[in-house]
Structures are given as C-alpha cells and as structure tokens.
Amino acid sequence: MSTATGQAARPVSVGAARVADAVKVYGSGDTAVRALDGVSVDFPAGRFTAIMGPSGSGKSTLMHCAAGLDTLTSGAAFIGDTELGKLDDRRLTLLRRDRIGFVFQAFNLVPTLTVAENITLPMDLAGVRGDREWADALVDVVGLRDRLHHRPAELSGGQQQRVAVARAFAGRPDVVFADEPTGNLDSRSGEEVLNLLGRAVRQMGRTVVMVTHDPVAAAHADEVVFLADGRLVDRMESPTADRVLDRMKAFDARPPARKETSS
C-alpha cells in the first residue's frame, strides 16, 4: 500500500484504538476552548498505555473521544479499523457495549445488583451468553470469590473497583479505558487495582488505556503518552515513577488551558 506521495502508508490496523489529527473545541466564540489541538496517537493492542499531562491538558477529552463517549470537532477516532465518526448513534452504542470496557474513578456499579450480576451485566444487557468461564476466571483474578453475592454498598472502595475491573474485561473487549481508576482509593487499594490492570495486559493479552495524574500509577503502564495544551508532546517507554515525575515537572510553569484563537 502506498500514499499519493509514494510513501509507504501505515497498515490500517495499527492499534486497538487510535486517533488521527484529533481536534476538540468546546463552546464557541470568545469562550471556545481548544481541548485537543491536532493529536495523533495509537494505543497498541496487548499494551498498557497511560495518558498523562497537567490539569486541563486534554487527557479526559482524549479518552472520551477515543472511546466514543464524545465526538471530535475534526479528525478521526478508530477502534480497530472502525471509524467512530462514521457510525450512527445505535451502532456507536453497540460498539461501546461490545468492544470497549470502562473503569471510572467513581466505580459506577449498579447498587441493586450483586457482585456477580454487576460483572456479567454487559453480557446480560447484550443478551449474549458470552464466555462465562472467562467471566468466572476473572472473579478469581480480582479476588472476589467470597463476595459474589454481596451488593456494592457492602464492599470497600478497593473491592468495588475490582468488581468494576472484572466487569470491564468480562466481555473480552478490544480495549479497556480507565479514567483515574485509583482516584478514589487509598494507595494500597490503588496498587491492587493497578496490578490487576497490568496482569490483564501481560498475562491475559488485554489492552488498557488509562488516564491518570499520578506518576506512580503511570509507572504500571508499558508506555506513557504526555499531553500538554491539547497536544501530544512526549512518549516514554518502560516508565518509572521518578522519570514520569521528572517529565511532569517540566510542565509545572506552564499556564493551563488556552482559548480558541481561530474564531
């Protein structure tokens, strides 16, 4: 395959998820904010990628647009080879349900359902039997075998987030997006959740993209991508907390969000 300029094009399927020339502008006129300013990034399959950057740098916006929870102003977002902007609402909803898992800071479990029911909820909603053996194995991976018939309110925060992690992987999605998954946890529970995400990638071949502001959390990833002012400014392979912290310090003197200047 080659492009019009004769250069070899990258294969179509380069990652579990990716965005190309992603621009996101919130609002319009004087109050418009350019939250993403031309970001192109791949999230490779079978890898754990962390998205870092200062507050307001566009991390959540990137995750939401890459996961089909929000739409880009211009550019494109792909899950596998599927371009999200080309899907109607119904197909986008199905794609999110069938091909993406989510872990949020606030756990987002259904309070009236048991642990077991919460874990299989995506498959039950889809009306598919799914791979119940896999879902059952996940229960052991997250260490919740003795809590299966409890309701979320009867669990600690760390246990609730482990349920959310099991739920996110239960349907074997192409990619799991985690938005500050340890933000509501003490450091020990947070460490457990991060270890689970790491094991899901390294031992079970899953793909994780995690937004975090915590260098210790980012150090669990295979690679960190750094955003600043809505742009991708750096990538770091095999991160350590110290190296990530050092990289983040370089952002400290920078101002937060910028206004949209083209309007």
Ligand X SMILES: Nc1ncnc2c1ncn2[C@@H]1O[C@H](COP(=O)(O)OP(=O)(O)OP(=O)(O)O)[C@@H](O)[C@H]1O
Closest CB 210 distance from ligand X, rounded Å = 12
How far lies 46's CA from each of 82, 202, 203, 212, in Å? 18, 8, 10, 19
Q: How far is the CB of 64 from ligand X (least distance, A)?
A: 8
Got the DSSP string for 134-170?
HHHHHHHHTT-GGGTT--GGGS-HHHHHHHHHHHHHH
Smallest separation (angstroms) from ligand X to the CB of 85: 19
Which 239-258 positions form the footprint of ligand X (CB under 6 A)? 257
Q: Taking the complex as a whole, how short is the minimal distance between the CB of residue 231 and ligand X, in angstroms?
A: 12
> Contacts with ligand X in 162-221 (CB under 6 A)?
213
Residue whose CB is less far from ligand X, 61 or 189: 61
* 3-class SS string, 106-129: CCCCCCCCCHHHHHHHHHHHHCCC
Count of residues that interact with ligand X, criterion CB under 6 A: 14
Residue placing its CB nearer to ligand X in the complex, 41 or 155: 41
Residues 25-64, one symbol each (x = binds ligand X by CB under 6 A, - = not), give -xx-----x-x-----------------x-xxxxxxx---
Q: Are 102 and 79 in contact (CB under 8 A)?
A: no
Residue nearest to ligand X (CB): 257
SS3 content of the chain, % helix, strand, coil (to 5): 35, 25, 40
Give the binding site for ligand X (CB under 6 A).
Answer: 26-27, 33, 35, 53, 55-61, 213, 257
